[in-house]
Amino acid sequence: MKKPSFIINEIIKDSGLSISEFARQLCVERQTFQDILSEKRKKIPSDVIEKIKDKWGYSSLWLITGEGEKFAKTDGLKEPAGGYVVIPAASLDRLMAKLESMDLEIKAIKRAVAA
Report the pLDDT value the prediction gives residue 78, as an integer from 0 to 100: 53
User: Per residue in 12-59, pLDDT tens?
Assistant: 998 889 999 999 999 999 999 999 999 999 999 999 999 999 888 899
What is the C-alpha separation between 22 and 81, in angstroms, rounded? 14
pLDDT for the residue numbered 67: 92
Q: Which CATH architecture has domain 4-87?
A: Orthogonal Bundle (1.10)
- d(C-alpha 65, C-alpha 114), whole Å: 57
* Domain ranges across the chain: 4-87
